[in-house]
Chain A
Amino acid sequence: MKTKTTSGIGNPLSRLEGKLKVMGKAKYSSEFAFENLAFAQGIQSTIASGTITAIDTSEAEKQEGVLKIITYQNALELKGYNGRVESPSTKGISPSLQTPEVHFYGEYIGVVVAETFEQARYAANLIKVTYAENKHKINFEENLDSVYKPDKANGQPADTSWGDLEAGLQEAAAKIDVTYNTPIEHHHPMELHNIIAVWEGDKVTAYASTQMVENAVITIAETFQMPKENVRVITPYVGGGFGSKLQLREHATLGIMAAKMVDRPVQFTVTRHEMFTAIGFRQHNQQRMRLGADKDGNLIAVGHDTTSHTSFTEEFQETCGLMTRMLYKTPNSLVTHRLMKLNLPSPRWMRAPGEAPGSFALESAMDELAHELRMDPAELRIQNDTQKDPSNDKPFSSRQLVECIRIGAKKFDWKNKWNPKPGHTQKENWMVGYGMSASSRAAPYLKSSAEVTLKRDGETVTAVLKTDATDIGTGTYTILGQTVAETLNLDIEDVQVELGDSKFPVSPGSGGSWGAASFANGAREACINAINNLKTLASTDENLSIVELMQQADLTEHNAKGTAAPTEEFDDYSVYSFGANFCEVWVDKDTGMVRLEHFVNVASAGKILNPKTAYGQIIGGITWGLGQALTEHTEVEPNYGNFITRSFADYHVPVNLDLGKIDVVFVPEEDYIANPMGVKGIGELGITSIAAAIANAVFNATGKRVRDLPITPQKVVTTPVTA
C-alpha cells in the first residue's frame, strides 16, 4: 500500500487523470453529448471602426440546416456597458450584439445557428454586411500623443514614486536610458474556447471552458440579468487557459443567447482564427527604462515608463512596472503607466500580465547597466538585493533571490563561462553567448473552500474531495489528491478528486498563480475539519487513523467542509516567489538565427507539492518565454487594423527543436506566512524574465542589443553591433 510518504505532498506523482486524457476519456466542455445539439458560428466585423448600416442574411437563411441568424437587430437584450469604459474583471459582464457599432476588426457582429457546424460556417460566409466607416485609430506610434493616465493598471496604481528620479540620475556614475518594445502576443491554449449552453425553463447550464467557475456563473447571471442560482457551470477538464479563460467571453454569451432563441442546446466553439480576436491578448508595451548607479553598482535611480493601448470599450493595462517597484533597493524610483485607445480588441490578462513584458525591460536594462559598469550582471543583482519591499517598506515573507542566483550560477558554471566581450566564443558559424536574469512574481493566496466525503468499508476508507477549482492542465487533480492523502494519511488510490462544477464549494479559480496555494489549503482545511469532527464523534483526543476514528465513532460515512483564507498577518508582508535564470544561446553569425543551447532555472517558490507537475509549469514557462524572446509576434495590418498574423503558420510558437537542455532547480523554502502549507504559485514565475535572459545572451554572443521583441533573424541581421 502506498502511504503518505509515497503519495502525499512532495512526491513526483504522475497526473491522476493522465490515463483518462491519453485514452480520450477526460471530457472537455465540447465533448458533452446532447441529442438535439445545434451549432453556432460567429460572424465578425470587417472594419475597425464604424456602424453597421445593413445586414443581408437572405442567402444564408435559405441554406439547409440554418435555424437562426442573430444580429444586433434581433438579439436578446443584455446588460450593456452603456457607453462606459469599464476595467475588465474576471466576473465582469460580457455583452454582445447590443449595438450596430463596430469597435475593432473581427468583433462578433452576429451568429448563425444551424444543425451542423459546417452548415453554420457556410451560411456565415454568405452574409453581407454594409457599414458606415469611421476613420479608425490603429497605429501605435501615430497615436502616442493621445496617451492618458489610467485609473489603475490591472488593479495596481498607475504611478508610484519615491525620492527624486532626476536627481538620482544626475548623481549616477553609470546610467542608461533606453526603450524596449514587446509586441502584441496571443495565448493559444490547445483547447479552443467553447461553450455548450443548455436551457431548462429559466435555468441554464453552461459546459464552458473556463479557468474560474464561480466567476463564470456571475458573468452569466449579470449579463443575462438572472438569479445566480439559475446558472450552473461545468468544466471538469480545461485544455489550457493562460489567462484567456479567466472571464467568460462574448462567445459564451452568444452561445447562451442562441440556445435560448432556438430553444435547443447550442455549442459555440471559437475557431483558431477567431482566437486572435475573441479572447484577449497581450498588448504592445513600449517601455522606457532609466537606470542610474554609483560606481560600485548600487542603484540610485530606477525609472520605468510604460505606454500601451486599450480598446474603446474597455480600459486594461498590464502592470509592466510591478517588478520594478519591488525587486531592487533604490532611493529614487518613478514607475508610470500610460494608455492610448485604439480600434483593436481589448487586451486582457496573459500569463504573468505585467511581469512577462515588464521583466524583459527591467532585466535587459540591468544587463545594459552591468555592461556600462563593467560588472558581472549576476553580481549587480546580488548587490542590489533587499529584504524589505522598497515600494511599501514591508518585509518579504521570504526572499531567496540571492540564493537562487548563487545556486543557478554554480549549476551553470557562470563564473568560468561568462565573458563580457561579445564574440568571445565561436563554434563554426555560431557565436556563443551567455545571459542571466532575476525574477519575482507575487504569491497571492485567496479564500478557497472544499468538501470531503469519507466512506468506510470495513478497514478501508476512501475520500472524495470536491471543489469548484479547475485543472487547466496544471495538475490540480494531482496536487489536491496528494493533499488529501497527506492530511488524512490515506493511500492516493483511495482518494478521488472532483473539480469544475459550480455545485461544489467555491474556490477562487485558476489564475494569478494563486490556484495551488489556495486550493490545497482549502482541501487541507476540509480534511482537518473531518478529522476533528470524527475525534469529537469518537470521543477521543488521540491521534488515531481515519479508519480507527470512523470505527470508533461507528460511522461508514462522514462529510466535512472547510475554508482556508489569508489571515491579517498576510497583509503585513510582501509575499513573492523568486527565481534566477541562466542560459547559453548560439547565434548564427550570418543569418541571425538563434538557438537555445542550455537553460537553467532556479525557483524559490515555497513548498513544492509535486516536483513533476511543478517542473512542467517551469518548462512550459521557459518555452513560452523563448517564444516571447524569439518567435511570437502578432502584426497589426497597417491600413485596415486586423491582425494579419492570422494562423499558426504566421504566428510562430516555439517547436521542440527550438529548445535545448533545460535544468530546473527548486530551492527548499519554508514560508508559513504565505499560507499554512507554505505553498506558492509557480505558473507565472516560470515565464518571468525568461526573454530577458535569452536577449542578454544574444547580446553577449553578438554585441547586438535587439530591444524590440521578438529577436528574429531579420532583426539580428539589421541591428548594429554596439559593444
Chain B
Amino acid sequence: MRPFQFHSPSNAAEALQKHTKDQKTHYLGGGTNLIDLMKEDVERPDHLVEVADLPFKEISKTANGGLMLGATLNNTDTANHTDVRKNYPLLTMAMLSAATEQIRNMATNGGNILQRTRCPYYFETSMPCNKREPGSGCGALNGANGKSAIFGWSESCVATHPSDMCVALAALNAKVHVEKEDGSSRVIPFSEFHRLPGDQPEKDTTLEIGELITGIELPESQFPDHYYYYKVRERSSYAFALVSAAVGLKLSGNTITKAGLAIGKVAHKPWKLEKVEKFLAGKEATLENFEAAADLAFEDAQPLSKNAYKIELGKKTLVQALVRAAARS
C-alpha cells in the first residue's frame, strides 16, 4: 500500500472542503472495496477522507411519500429497516443476496453504488486495462471475458457493474442526492447515475469529482406485493452474480398495471428494461408474456467470445423472476 493522508471530518462541509477535487482524493465509506483496491495497488490515493461516520445514517420519509436512504448507513441496517422491508422488499431481497453479513455490516449505501467492477484485469496491475490505466488496452475484450458485458460495451471496455443493490435501485427508479463544496446539491436519476464505458471507461458514473453522495431517494412505495430478485451464481452465497434480475410488478387481478425491471451483471451499469416495462404494462401475467418479455429484453444483446451463455441464462432468469414475482402474494 502506498502512503496516504487520512482525514476524518465531522460534517459534510468539512469533508467536501478536505477533498482536493482531483483524482488524488477518495472518500472512504466502509472501505470494503476501496481498501482492497489500494492493497492491490490499483487505487493510489494521496488522501482519504473518511465519510463513513458523517451524519447521513437515517432512513426518513420524504415529502412525496418516498424514502430517503442515508448514504453512510450500512447495507445491513438499510436492507432490514422496517419501511424498506415493508414498502420496498425488492431492495431488501437484492441487498441481502450480496456478499456476506460481515461485508454488508461495513458497506455503506454510498460506497455500494460506487463500487468498481470485478473485472479481473482491472485488479491485476500487470495486465492491460483501460479503466485502471486509460490507453493501456482492454484485456478482457479478446481475453477471459466469460463474465463480461453483453450490452452497451465498447471496444475500450467490456466490464460489468457488480452491485446487486443497484439492480433493484434501477428497477425502483431511485434518485441519487449529492452535495458540492459550495453547498449546492443536485439530484441524479438512477438511470443517469452510472454510465456506459464509451471511450472513457475510467468513468463509472456521472458524479463530478469531489461531489459527495448524501442519500438515495426512493419514490413512493413500490411493488410491496409482487417482487423478486433472482441472482444466479456459482455457489449458494458469497459470490457475485453471473446474471441477475430485479422484478417488481403491480397487478390488478392477473393484469400487470406496472412493472419495474432491471437485470444485473450484463453491462457497465445496471441494465434498466424500460422497453420491457412498457411492453408488460397492461398485459396478463402469463408465462407466454414473460417469455416474450425476456426475448425483448435480450434482443439487442451482443455477446463476446465467451459469454454467449448469458443470453440464454439471462432470459431464463428474467422469466423465473417474473413468474415468482407474480406468484407472490
A46 to B125 alpha-carbon distance, docked (Å)? 10
- Residues from chain A with a CB closer than 8 A to the CB of B310 are 714
Q: How large is the interface on A (under 10, 10 to 19, 20 to 34, 35 or more residues)?
A: 35 or more
Kindly identify which residue among B126, B232, B236 contacts A658, using a CB–CB cutoff of 8 Å: B236
B127 within 8 A of A: yes
- Residues from chain A with a CB closer than 8 A to the CB of B118 are 649-650
- Residues from chain B with a CB closer than 8 A to the CB of A645 are 120
B242 within 8 A of A: yes
B264-298 CB contacts (< 8 Å) to partner A: none
A118 to B3 alpha-carbon distance, docked (Å)? 10
A332 to B309 alpha-carbon distance, docked (Å)? 41
- Residues from chain B with a CB closer than 8 A to the CB of A121 are 1
Q: Tell whether, in the assembled complex, residue A591 and residue B120 are in contact, meaning their CB atoms are under 8 Å apart.
A: no
A621-673 CB contacts (< 8 Å) to partner B: 630-631, 635, 637-640, 642, 644-647, 649-650, 652, 654-655, 657-658
Closest-by-CB residue of A relative to B39 is: A121
Q: Tell whether, in the assembled complex, residue B317 and residue A646 are in contact, meaning their CB atoms are under 8 Å apart.
A: no
A403 CB to nearest B CB, Å: 34
Kindly identify which residue among A650, A710, A712, A714 contacts B120, using a CB–CB cutoff of 8 Å: A650
A87-140 CB contacts (< 8 Å) to partner B: 118, 121-122, 125
Q: Tell whether, in the assembled complex, residue A713 and residue B242 are in contact, meaning their CB atoms are under 8 Å apart.
A: yes
Q: Tell whether, in the assembled complex, residue B237 and residue A657 are in contact, meaning their CB atoms are under 8 Å apart.
A: yes
B114-156 CB contacts (< 8 Å) to partner A: 118, 120-121, 123-127, 139, 142-144, 146
Interface centre among B234, B310, B317, by most chain A C-beta atoms within 10 angstroms, is: B234
B312 within 8 A of A: yes
A321 within 8 A of B: no
B101 CB to nearest A CB, Å: 12
Given A122-B2, A638-B143, A642-B127, also A631-B320 (CB < 8 A) = no
B6 within 8 A of A: no
Q: Tell whether, in the assembled complex, residue A639 and residue B142 are in contact, meaning their CB atoms are under 8 Å apart.
A: yes
A140 CB to nearest B CB, Å: 14
Q: Tell whether, in the assembled complex, residue A631 and residue B143 are in contact, meaning their CB atoms are under 8 Å apart.
A: no
- Residues from chain B with a CB closer than 8 A to the CB of A658 are 235-236
Closest-by-CB residue of B relative to A126 is: B2
B212-263 CB contacts (< 8 Å) to partner A: 230, 232-240, 242
A645 to B123 alpha-carbon distance, docked (Å)? 11
A423 CB to nearest B CB, Å: 17
Given A118-B1, A125-B41, A590-B320, also A646-B124 (CB < 8 A) = yes
Kindly identify which residue among A118, A595, A642, A718 contacts B312, using a CB–CB cutoff of 8 Å: A718
- Residues from chain B with a CB closer than 8 A to the CB of A652 are 234-235, 239
Q: Tell whether, in the assembled complex, residue A592 and residue B313 are in contact, meaning their CB atoms are under 8 Å apart.
A: yes
B278 CB to nearest A CB, Å: 25
Sample of 16 A–B contacts (CB below 8 Å): A121-B1, A122-B3, A590-B317, A593-B236, A630-B234, A635-B144, A638-B144, A639-B142, A639-B143, A640-B127, A644-B121, A644-B143, A646-B120, A713-B234, A717-B313, A718-B309
Beyond A638-B143, A645-B120, 15 additional contacts (C-beta under 8 Å) are A590-B319, A591-B313, A592-B313, A593-B233, A637-B127, A637-B139, A644-B143, A652-B239, A655-B235, A658-B236, A712-B242, A713-B232, A713-B233, A717-B309, A717-B312
B contact residues vs A (CB 8 Å cutoff): 1-3, 41, 118, 120-121, 123-127, 139, 142-144, 146, 230, 232-240, 242, 309-310, 312-313, 316-317, 319-320
